[in-house]
Structure 1
């Protein structure tokens, strides 16, 4: 009898141990149900922006035409750069031609990183709109709200965004008033503005005058409000969320040069490419100095348009024409130029230290054309039109 009790006890222990090792007991009315402990598997992280491409067969003809165009402008016009064309959010064409480094004869590749020049301004405008959405700033705030000693009163953030502030050119001020060998940073340039006694062009809101000064001041406001560098703010809020791994803000003398970061060149005597040296204006950011690959710049366009970064209302403001206090409209929004003649398109071009850049969105066609170049190419507008014509004639989707 004792032997049987012992056997039963051992059996119960084994059975119950099995229950606790392999699962858990759940009471449901008069039942005992054994449920296996689920194995937790971390889901595969989905990319924030999925880059899609059209099938090769569908793009064969248009790729052939664009390849021919790329070879032609390389040979005839010394074009050394990259072109990306996308329709309906999917890439039709993405290619590059020419050299990254002329001395080493290294060719450009898909991870070559171009200085975006004034195409950088849309990142600055987006940063401001994000702070506006977070109620950290208001577009009607004046610069003096954040920099009490700013010498040009009544300049609002909106004036800076749409180039109606009337501020003097900081390039000239840096070249004539800066006394140190090291190029000034944003904070140093803001201090120089305060002490330079250079007159503004007009009172805020009266005219449109394209201004690099306004956009470096905007970047300085971002730094002041967030207590972080402009580059870090863009990285955390835009570049990392969109997995733009080859995009960053670069300030000469303050940041290290990255692998695949390109230099700008100019052609000397029709055959020799000379590297363009940095200047006293190259440490200031906000008006320029975002570097990116062409595919990262496409990710940016997708992310901005599909609401991953900003609200629809903010984007509409960025894409809306500006207006003076007298009611005169002009074709610039916040960080974007606007063409309303014929088919509306949103675009921006840039030129700086040998880099020529262009990002154009044809809204009705849902067509994006991006061109990045680094040997002082000077026919960006004409090239853009040729690309659009080739796509229209050879790609029907």
Structure 2
């Protein structure tokens, strides 16, 4: 009897021991898993692209600042320039300043947070969104528009054709202005449907020629939306603006979005003295070819992040910064979202004009020099201004 009771007691002890052992192991494993999860989360945070905004010391920039300040004041008075200029060399800011009014009636001055419509400079963001999807194996550069929009009437147009303006598509501006019958402006989705039913002919078969095309880039933005399952605005925010800490950048559609804080309106000069606001048009709800808003600071982060490989691979960037070509082998002065200087292929740039906004981002790769100019009162000499700025920097800043 004693042995029987003793054996039961031993069995209970053994079961209790193994229960405690298993619980301890599970608890330990749980802690390990928690630590792994925390480590993964930490790594995810760590690998987010970070842009360190640095300035050259005043002792090095004093002369160039005086010269550029003088230039800025001169074009403000003589040529009605109301905007901002930023110059960066070797990924550090050499010069940054703004001048003029954001609102002429209220006499509100432009400030660092004032956001400018980038006009066609927006195209580089659209091209980058496409390249991100290509790197993630969501799409291929050889895919046609009909892969995503089977009813699109212009067949055999590839993503590559759209990127370097060799698609030959009709101008959607004209189609919207002549065939859109509703009072509100068409969105990307509505514009794609209108092109499908418009019976407008293409300019040439894909790849045969180069023709700068806003249509191609709004179609690219529509492909981004279709493939990602989110709006073009959200895609850029989550995949470009947030990772590069571009806190004052966004996509704005006149039909889909409320006006943002610090968002500028475009103006034109009337009779040489009065500034009149430029209203929205039938083409202001379509995005991808235009309608990205940003600041000079954010555009510095953008060019820095792109050139440093913080967003796209070197292979993707090389494609974007290389001239396209027709099916006959003729080179065209455009990469993916960027113009390529015909005399110096290492000068990558884009200018834009839309509803009073004039913009320019010039990227001189050989000199590691970036010149950013943003303006909103129909200033019409961005190209020559960029040249003047580069000349001054070359003369008075030798880093």
| TM-score where L is the length of structure 1 | 0.88
Instruction: Provide the residue aligned with 2:208 in structure 1.
Output: 206
Does the aligned pair in 2 maintain the 1:85–1:92 contact within 8 Å?
yes
1:35-92, Cα deviation, whole Å (9 max, x unpaired)? xxxxx9x999898111010001110000000000000000000000000000000000
Does the aligned pair in 1 maintain the 2:164–2:324 contact within 8 Å?
yes
Does the aligned pair in 2 maintain the 1:343–1:364 contact within 8 Å?
no
Query: SS of the residue aligned with 1:52?
Result: coil
Instruction: Provide the residue aligned with 2:76 in structure 1.
Output: 74
Instruction: Provide the residue aligned with 2:327 in structure 1.
Output: 325
Alignment of 1:97-246 (within 5 A): 97-246=99-248
Query: SS of the residue aligned with 1:233?
Result: helix
Q: Distance in 2 between matches of 1:124 and 1:95?
A: 28
Per the TM alignment, residue 189 of structure 1 is displaced from its structure 2 partner at its CA by: 0.3
Per the TM alignment, residue 392 of structure 1 is displaced from its structure 2 partner at its CA by: 0.6
Q: Distance in 2 between matches of 1:238 and 1:290?
A: 12
Instruction: Provide the residue aligned with 2:5 in structure 1.
Output: none
In 2 relative to 1, CA 121–342 (structure 1 residues): closer, same or farther, beyond 3 Å? closer
Does the aligned pair in 1 maintain the 2:116–2:357 contact within 8 Å?
yes
Q: Distance in 2 between matches of 1:47 and 1:141?
A: 29
Alignment of 1:208-357 (within 5 A): 208-342=210-344, 344-357=346-359
Q: Distance in 2 between matches of 1:253 and 1:339?
A: 36
Per the TM alignment, residue 253 of structure 1 is displaced from its structure 2 partner at its CA by: 1.9
Per the TM alignment, residue 344 of structure 1 is displaced from its structure 2 partner at its CA by: 2.8
Deviates more, 1:115-124 or 1:42-51: 42-51
Deviates more, 1:341-350 or 1:173-182: 341-350
Does the aligned pair in 2 maintain the 1:83–1:96 contact within 8 Å?
yes
Does the aligned pair in 2 maintain the 1:49–1:242 contact within 8 Å?
yes
Does the aligned pair in 1 maintain the 2:187–2:255 contact within 8 Å?
no
Does the aligned pair in 1 maintain the 2:49–2:305 contact within 8 Å?
no
Does the aligned pair in 2 maintain the 1:121–1:287 contact within 8 Å?
yes
Does the aligned pair in 2 maintain the 1:149–1:194 contact within 8 Å?
yes
Query: SS of the residue aligned with 1:396?
Result: coil
Does the aligned pair in 2 maintain the 1:119–1:358 contact within 8 Å?
yes
Does the aligned pair in 2 maintain the 1:216–1:284 contact within 8 Å?
yes
Query: SS of the residue aligned with 2:269?
Result: strand
- Structure 1 regions of 5+ residues with no counterpart? 1-39
Instruction: Provide the residue aligned with 1:381 in structure 2.
Output: 383
Q: Distance in 2 between matches of 1:251 and 1:330?
A: 31
Per the TM alignment, residue 342 of structure 1 is displaced from its structure 2 partner at its CA by: 4.3
Q: Distance in 2 between matches of 1:313 and 1:362?
A: 19
Instruction: Provide the residue aligned with 1:37 in structure 2.
Output: none
Does the aligned pair in 1 maintain the 2:49–2:311 contact within 8 Å?
no
Q: Distance in 2 between matches of 1:342 and 1:264?
A: 33
Instruction: Provide the residue aligned with 2:34 in structure 1.
Output: none
Q: Distance in 2 between matches of 1:273 and 1:291?
A: 21
Instruction: Provide the residue aligned with 2:98 in structure 1.
Output: 96
Q: Distance in 1 between matches of 2:64 and 2:147?
A: 52
Query: SS of the residue aligned with 1:364?
Result: helix
Instruction: Provide the residue aligned with 2:56 in structure 1.
Output: 54
Per the TM alignment, residue 340 of structure 1 is displaced from its structure 2 partner at its CA by: 4.0
| TM-score where L is the length of structure 2 | 0.88
In 2 relative to 1, CA 343–317 (structure 1 residues): closer, same or farther, beyond 3 Å? closer
Superposed CA RMSD in Å reads: 1.5
Q: Distance in 1 between matches of 2:315 and 2:344?
A: 24
Number of aligned pairs?
357
Query: SS of the residue aligned with 1:278?
Result: coil
Does the aligned pair in 2 maintain the 1:122–1:334 contact within 8 Å?
yes
- Structure 2 regions of 5+ residues with no counterpart? 1-37
